[in-house]
């Protein structure tokens, strides 16, 4: 994947070090920036994130990245969101308060109902037979979240169980959200990232 340049959206919230390490292990070139000109010169964007949804949206607003990311998606340019980054792709969130999201993939972020936190390793179950993630069906990935995505079935790629089904992956066009952390999921995460980046960039 040496021909692929990945841009990490740097809005002050995220686990950049582990993401950078994972991407470089795959042979990708990596650029970390909040500047539209820099991000626009890459083949694919990754939206990382840890923490609270309202804080993250405020940070994106301060960096003038909300309009840019929406336009990027409208142009069918690839974006992958990790954990909170996936949730930011949704229409809105009820974490702490009602907060509008990027509204790139329709749906809302709501509290987990059965248990407050979903932390640790859990299996991915692909719900779309044609999904690029099908090669990772049944593999375990690392989760750490207390809110989850609810939205139309057409955007859901996979679930995990805790013990009830939780949406683990979503997609609309060339925008994909992963509720888990592939960069912290060892060999399973590297394989999934390789397959997903290859699919989105046609590398």
**Which structural domain range is residue 179 located in?**
5-201
User: Could you report the per-residue pLDDT of 97-149, keeping only the tens digit for each?
Assistant: 999 999 999 999 999 987 778 999 999 999 987 788 999 999 999 999 999 99
Q: Note the pLDDT of residue 45.
A: 99
Backbone angles phi, psi at 58, to 5 degrees: -60, -40
Q: Is 83 a catalytic site residue?
A: yes
Side-chain half-sphere CA neighbours of 183 within 13 A: 22
Residue 83: what are its φ and ψ, rounded to 5°? 55, -115
Task: Give the model confidence (pLDDT) of 27-39 as tens digits.
Answer: 999 999 999 999 9
Q: Any idea how long the chain is?
A: 203
Residue 49 has pLDDT above 90, yes or no: no
The C-alpha atoms of residue 81 and residue 79 are separated, in whole angstroms, by 7
Residue 202 pLDDT > 80, yes or no?
Answer: yes
**How many domains does the chain fold into?**
1
Q: Domain with 30 in it: what CATH number?
A: 3.40.50.880
Catalytic residue among 83, 95, 118, 126: 83
Mean pLDDT, residues 11-22? 89
Question: Within 13 Å of residue 66, how many CA atoms lie on the same side as its CB?
Answer: 14
Residue in the block written with tokens 């990945």: 6
Could you identify the residue written with the tokens 């309202």?
Answer: 54
Closest CA relative to residue 54, chosen from 89, 94, 14: 94
108 included as an active-site residue: no
Catalytic residue among 95, 118, 183, 194: 183
Report percent pLDDT > 70 for the chain.
100
Rounded Cα distance between 39 and 15, Å, is 18
State pTM to two decimals: 0.95
Q: What is the pLDDT of residue 131?
A: 81
Residue 64's pLDDT band (cuts 50, 70, 90) = very high
Indicate which residue of 118, 145, 162, 181 is catalytic. 181
Q: What is the DSSP string of 67-88?
A: HHHHHHHHTT--EEEETHHHHH
Contact 89, 177 (CB under 8 A): yes
Relative orientation angle of helices 186-201 and 16-25, to the nearest 10 degrees:
70
Active-site residue flag, 162: no
């Amino acid at each position: 994947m040496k021909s692929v340049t990945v841009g990490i959206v740097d809005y002050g919230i995220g686990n950049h070090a582990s993401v950078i390490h994972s991407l470089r292990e795959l042979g990708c070139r990596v650029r970390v920036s909040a500047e539209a000109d820099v991000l626009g010169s890459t083949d694919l964007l990754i939206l990382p994130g840890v923490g609270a949804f309202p804080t993250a949206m405020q940070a994106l607003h301060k960096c003038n990245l909300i309009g840019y990311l929406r336009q990027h998606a409208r142009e069918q340019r690839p974006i992958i969101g990790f954990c909170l980054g996936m949730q930011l792709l949704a229409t809105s969130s009820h974490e702490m308060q009602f907060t509008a999201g990027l509204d790139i993939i329709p749906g809302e972020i709501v509290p987990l109902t059965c248990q407050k936190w979903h932390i640790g390793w859990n299996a991915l179950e692909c719900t779309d037979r044609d999904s690029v993630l099908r090669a990772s069906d049944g593999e375990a990935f690392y989760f750490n979240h207390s809110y989850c995505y609810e939205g139309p079935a057409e955007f859901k790629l996979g679930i995990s169980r805790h013990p009830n089904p939780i949406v683990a992956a979503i997609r609309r066009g060339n925008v994909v959200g992963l509720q888990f952390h592939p960069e912290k999921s060892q060999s399973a995460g590297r394989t999934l990232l390789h397959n997903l980046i290859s699919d989105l960039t046609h590398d």
